Chain A
Amino acid sequence: MVKPTSKWLTLSQLVRVRLMLQDGNWVQSIPAFFLDCRRSKVFPALRCCGSCHINDFAKKLPQKLRFLLRATLKENSLDESPKTEKSDSSIKPRSQLSRRTFLGNIATVGIATTAAPLLQVGELDAQQVHQPLTDVTEAPATSVGTVPVTLKINGQTKNLQIEPRVTLLDALRENLGLFGTKKGCDHGQCGACTVHVNGRRVNSCLTFAIMHQGDEVTTVEGLAKNGELHPVQAAFLEHDAFQCGYCTSGQIMSAVALLKEPCGKDDDAIRECMSGNICRCGAYNNIVAAVRSVRGAA
């Protein structure tokens, strides 16, 4: 029996999995981390119920690796109770720390130097990844057409080597490992990508990172201070203002900015001022309640 040696699948294990399957369709060899949930269409999978792909993927693995995967996921409380030998009834679909850190580690080794999709992970040299996210001070200068871009994100200076066509959203997610900001529509129509630039809320998908050198960019990761949640974050928790959570960071960033904008007093005004953020789960009533409570307390 192969025992897992680390808390999460290492890159070498991922690569080995891909090679061993040899089924001609390498997309299926990528763990659910990198897939869209087929049911709710959110990315990455495991965001909503946490169970969709794991069993599909696991069934395709050879026995040895199947155990490895299940043990790894179980350790991170990411598997659902399987019908296999290791039945386990504890289901915690969202082990934020392990997945986020795992993906963050990919950024640390400088894998995404341009807007390349994470699917390319499998093709790189295998490396053990354990370190938490650190500043990306220098990415390998392998890509033609990249230029140095310096951004100030949540008070920290970040030096990137990226193409001009990398949007601010993609720079945050793919190059800086800040996954709190989400890509929903990528066309400025859903608001999931909302961040603050110099204190003003904007759609980060519709602007290029290179255009924001010298600007102060705030993402959802930068709201809490000294471990204390921003009042809007706390209000969203208190009022149950999210279900799947995918729109939530954009909603929170919008609501925080709204506090400093001229917006009418009643709920209709809140709805209008929040109209740039859509929620497919329909958590609107609670979102309005959360925003109302923060404004009332102000």
Chain B
Amino acid sequence: MTSNSVLNVVDVSKSFRGLRALSGVSFTLRQGEIFGLIGPNGAGKTTLFNVISGFLKPDSGRVGFLGKDLVRLKPHEICKMGLARTFQIVKPFSHLSILENVAVGCFNATNDIQEAEERAWEVLRFVGLEKKALSPAMSTTTPDRKRLELARALASQPQLLLLDEVMAGLNPTEQMQIVGLVREVREKGITLLVIEHSMRVIMGLCDRIVVLNHGECIAEGEPRAICSDKDVIEAYLGKGNTFVRD
């Protein structure tokens, strides 16, 4: 384990009534990298996110964040330590304004309402939602909801950010805008763990990738290496195929 590791997932397993969602998953995130988590549908990606962020307790294994064990902690305690997440199915506070949505996140780091508001505007400008800040969250479009999800998580001032398919359901232009944002987030020194389905996005964005299939890590490494990995191609396309890059 290197000294600059941010997140250590060690041998995590989780079953739902006999169905093994995760078995012996291990990997390490280094400070300041964008780490991709990919795999076919039902591979256990979101389950792993729920385990890391405290929504699920693993059956065995350890999740270490900046040297502390997260397994016994509740989600809000984990957020307080500087680990924020987004949800695949966006969960805006529908009846609150976008500004208030983000302010809830800001209060994670400050008690002062003035400071929270200033910080909220800052984050909204960063993700490009400042013009819609005062309209209720339920009146926004899907791309804006994805941005809001990202903004709220950022507002809690995390050191590690888990993004669960923030680009799903967006068109390529919108995707590239979010990719740009994610890169800027990294520039601020925040480490990122990203679940994404679009290969084009993930290959261009991530420094390293881990591939899950049926709850097991089948490959880990740089995007280029992953593309040509035999097990990965098999998991995605079945036996006897070759992965064709566009």
Tell whether A and B belong to one assembly.
no
